[in-house]
Amino acid sequence: MEDNRVVLRARLVELDALRYTPAGVPIMKFRLAHESSQLEAGTVRKVDCEIAAVAFETEAKLLAGASLGAAMSVTGFLDRRGKSSRQVVLHATHIEFEAS
């Protein structure tokens, strides 16, 4: 298995309704906003981006009760949005909300 692991601290900025796959698996699509400073080539770089994400099962149910603007740490992996797409989506496998 090849490495494809992402850990991101971000804010929840968009949250779809909880849905279910035809097999009955809970699924939640959402969007995250991330801001940080990163060191690159000896220079501090300001990072400000948004990323589409999806969660299944327990993580989807956890998100169903979340509020927009909530700070969280998301662990997961990247994949294409669909078979014919080149757009990337973060598949969240573990979500922890930060205390406010």
Phi-psi region of 42 (alpha: psi -120 to 50; beta: other; left: phi over 0): left
Instruction: Supply the pLDDT for residue 31.
Output: 98
Mean pLDDT score, 6-16: 97
Please state, rounded to an integer, the average pLDDT across all residues of the chain.
94
Q: Determine the residue type at 71.
A: A
Q: Determine the residue type at 31.
A: R
Domains and CATH numbers, the chain: 6-97 (2.40.50.140)
Does the pLDDT at position 1 exceed 70? no
- Tokens representing 13? 């900025």
Which among 14, 82, 21, 80 is positioned nearest to 56, based on CA atoms? 21
Does the reported pTM lie above 0.85?
A: yes
Output the CA–CA distances (angstroms, integers) from residue 82 to 10, 47, 58, 89, in the order listed: 24, 26, 22, 9
- Each residue of 19-64: pLDDT tens digit? 999 999 999 999 999 999 999 999 999 999 999 999 999 999 999 9
